[in-house]
Amino acid sequence: MEADQIKGACLCGIGEYIVITCSGACDLGLIADTVARKLRDNKVRKMNCLAAVGADVKPTIEAFKAANLLLLDGCPVDCGKKILEKAGISSFKYVRLTDLGYEKGKTPVTEEVINAVYEKVETIY
């Protein structure tokens, strides 16, 4: 890869099936991030960076538009969803952890919770 391409593009996972997450600082952000990494580690989806969309990295935005994209947001502030929509990305699967019954600031970050969320999103295609 040319140096300019490396500078201009995110080198994280690009593929047909991609997962991105708000990766927020709270419990639900951490759970969403951990679940996304688990999807990646189990080769269900490639994981990529929501921050690259916020930074207007064009190759990443174009790759996301062409992919089967799953976004995990922690709570109804919907940071990830707003970032994607602002960048003109309108087609993506969406899971908000509070919609699954988890409460922001009151959810223990345990294997049990992580696995329960993982099982709900693993089969989304």
Pairing state of beta strands 68-73 and 17-21?
A: parallel
Query: Rounded to the nearest whole angstrom, what is the least distance from the CB of residue 77 to ligand SF4 in the complex?
Result: 4
- Select from 18, 20, 22, 69 the one that contacts ligand SF4 (CB under 6 A): 22
Report yes or no: 35 and 114 within 8 Å, Cβ to Cβ: yes
How far does CA 1 lie from the centroid of its chain? Answer: 26
Query: Rounded to the nearest whole angstrom, what is the least distance from the CB of residue 9 to ligand SF4 in the complex?
Result: 24
Query: Rounded to the nearest whole angstrom, what is the least distance from the CB of residue 26 to ligand SF4 in the complex?
Result: 5
Q: What value does the CA radius of gyration of the chain take, rounded to a whole number of Å?
A: 14
Report the alpha-carbon distance of residue 51 to residue 31 in Å, rounded: 17
Query: 91 is written with which tokens?
Result: 């087609």
Nearer to ligand SF4, 58 or 86 (CB): 86
Nearer to ligand SF4, 9 or 100 (CB): 100
Nearer to ligand SF4, 43 or 105 (CB): 105
| Strands of the chain, DSSP E | 17-21, 46-47, 68-73, 93-96
Footprint on residues 65-84 left by ligand SF4 (CB under 6 A): 73-75, 77-79
Residues lying near ligand SF4 in the complex (CB under 6 A): 22, 24, 26, 28-29, 73-75, 77-79
